[in-house]
Chains A and B, each alone.
Chain A
């Protein structure tokens, strides 16, 4: 009897032990821990190996070089920069240039993309076909070719500096870029910027109030016109009230080139246009599929309720289409940002081009490639976070 009890007890522990091995939960944790350990080991080995080899090859390492004098000049910069600035500042110039072309590119690509996407659904045969040709043309050639098309095919064949094309407002276009008058801000000009900000904030409040009133009473309000008046009108009023404190520096012909004014170089223009036009073709398809995906019954129901076609698009179709459009749109925005590294082909000083120069002058390949990763990752993640927030806001709110 006693022996039997003992026997059954041991088999019980055995069973418990074997059930522990077979327990999917325990197994899962075990494999995850193992994978994590291997991953840590991998990263550690690679780091140690790199440090060891760099030391063996007598290559200096570390990020101290960022404090050193850069010694090279940069053609396009949004902040003050000379060859006496540090490598760190040169890197910042590159980051800002990348951001500039990415942000402007995203805005332009979205506008073109939405227009072309909607045009593809047009009842007008010609408009729909033109939009289709646009999409098929631009999305089927590599972005690098689009950049070279603008750079070598369009801008390079513009007239020389001495025979510049005259544009309105004393602007000039030649193969050195677009020369526009540069505003010079006098005393009190900051008030105009403040007025502009106040206009935006006021518009937001007006929009909220108008929506609330419409919910309660059903009375519509001309939010768009009021908003425009606030955002544009307020700064203009301030400008006049202060006695026009802004003057312009107009470009004039110098010995080699036009001097004065602001210049948008061919490198920036071709990269910006290429990225916008290229990405717009993808956005157009996303927009078209998003609108198509809204069930026909929605439009019909809205028609039955007596809404006008303008209101149907704005209030019924678009909000539903946006839910489908936003996630793939995010990917396109990220693609555009990353494609901006093709700037190196046309000599635009983006982060990749400037980083490349730094890499060559300092030889700090590992550090600079790490910086590339961090910068692109930060920009992409910020874009993704913003778009996810926007997506969540647009998502169906269940009541």
Chain B
């Protein structure tokens, strides 16, 4: 018995000495041969497995963009489905290399959680969905309602703030999994379900009778959703940020997955510079990648507009307009620093 305790203690001590995630994420990713991304477990349009079991969505495509930039192969992306509660420890511990999981960029997440945010791949805002039969036209009429919400989200905090500042009473019913929260709403446990507006449209599709539900007009918060990485690894942070900027710049320059091969040789100097066909360019190698990184992203995944249209746009079941997510040249907020 004593010997067992002894050897167990030694074994455990040895384990304790093993260090946590190392700082050079790019080297780790290259060594593993795959980018591991934390995604949400089933929000249509953002990250959702389709009927063939393939992950689809704007967050998933962001991750594929990173894989395309690093490996020249978008399939070298591995997806880990995380609940809103599990996502931060998973990134902190190094289980995932980057969180591309409709995560709101806030100051506390940027600082005390030890993460870095820089790009916003979807500008969102929190809203409410109710049953049409309740005859509610505005969120200000919701006093006394039971509200289903997912735990550990900015949504939960915004909800508390909104009802408090408008002097409304409510009864929160809090679930860890989004699916539990939405089925509880659908089965009548709650009068209202609240999450980001994009999520409301996505969830409405999953309800028993989508047409009996309506999204209220109020948007009660700013929800800039974007990828998060661990602090202290600027190189990896740069790569993750510039993948997004490359997609936005490509849309701005009119480069699509269809014309990218043609433009690589015939495009103007800014197009050629971005696609890595400029003589003696070091734009990709300075980033720690190859010079055709941006070409790979656009060729294999698409530009920002293509990805948006394919996953959440007006021609998808979600039917979301570009709105705030249009390019800055078209009245939206998507603006990327120049590739130069």
- Contact surface of A with B, Cβ cutoff 8 Å: 31-32, 34-35, 38-39, 41-42, 45-46, 49, 53, 56-60, 71-75, 82-84, 152, 156, 160-161, 175-176, 254-257, 259, 265-267, 344-345, 347, 349, 353, 356-357, 359-363, 365
Contact = CB atoms under 8 A, between A and B. Distances in A.
B189 A266 contact: yes
Contacts, number: 149
A157 to B, nearest CB: 8
A71 to B, nearest CB: 5
B152 A356 contact: yes
Contacts of A175: 187-189
Contacts of A152: 183, 187
Contacts of A57: 20-21, 92, 114, 230-232
A45 B181 CA distance: 41
Given A254-B144, A257-B191, A356-B85, A344 B176 contact: yes
Interface in B62-118: 84-85, 88-89, 92, 108-109, 111-114
A255 B12 CA distance: 59
Contacts of A75: 171-174
A45 B85 contact: no
Contacts of B189: 156, 175-176, 266
Interface in B25-56: none
B24 interface: no
Sorted from nearest, which 5 A-B pairs have the closest CB atoms?
A360-B152, A83-B160, A363-B113, A59-B114, A58-B114
Contacts of A60: 111-112, 114
Interface stretch (B3-11, B215-223, B307-315, B317-325): B3-11
Contacts of B157: 71-72, 83, 361
23 contacts: A34-B6, A35-B9, A41-B13, A45-B16, A45-B17, A57-B20, A57-B21, A59-B112, A60-B111, A72-B156, A72-B157, A83-B160, A156-B188, A175-B188, A255-B143, A256-B134, A256-B142, A347-B173, A356-B176, A360-B84, A360-B88, A363-B92, A365-B92
A300 B206 CA distance: 67
Interface string B136-173: 00000011111000011100110111011000001111
B175 A49 contact: no
Contacts of B89: 359, 365
A152 B180 CA distance: 10
B184 interface: yes
Contacts of B108: 361-363
A274 B183 CA distance: 20
A72 to B, nearest CB: 5
- Among B88, B111, B188, the most chain A Cβ lie within 10 Å of the Cβ of B188
Contacts of B161: 71, 83
Contacts of A160: 188
A360 B164 contact: no
B169 to A, nearest CB: 9
Contact of A353 (B20, B144, B176, B181): B176
A58 B233 CA distance: 12
A359 B173 contact: no
Contacts of A31: 2, 6
A45 B230 contact: no
A350 B161 CA distance: 22
Contacts of A84: 164
B329 interface: no
A361 B152 contact: yes
Given A38-B9, A361-B152, A361-B157, A353 B174 contact: yes
A357 B19 contact: no
B112 A363 contact: yes
Contacts of A58: 114, 231-232
A345 B151 CA distance: 12
- Most chain-A CB neighbours within 10 Å: which of B170, B171, B230? B171
Contacts of A35: 2, 5-6, 9
Contact of B9 (A39, A344, A349, A361): A39
Given A72-B157, A360-B84, A347 B174 contact: yes
A357 B6 contact: no
B89 to A, nearest CB: 5
Contact of A357 (B2, B9, B152): B152
Contacts of A265: 173
B187 A156 contact: yes
A254 B141 CA distance: 13
B191 A83 contact: no
A251 to B, nearest CB: 12
Nearest to B184: A347
Contacts of B156: 72-73, 357
Contacts of A267: 173
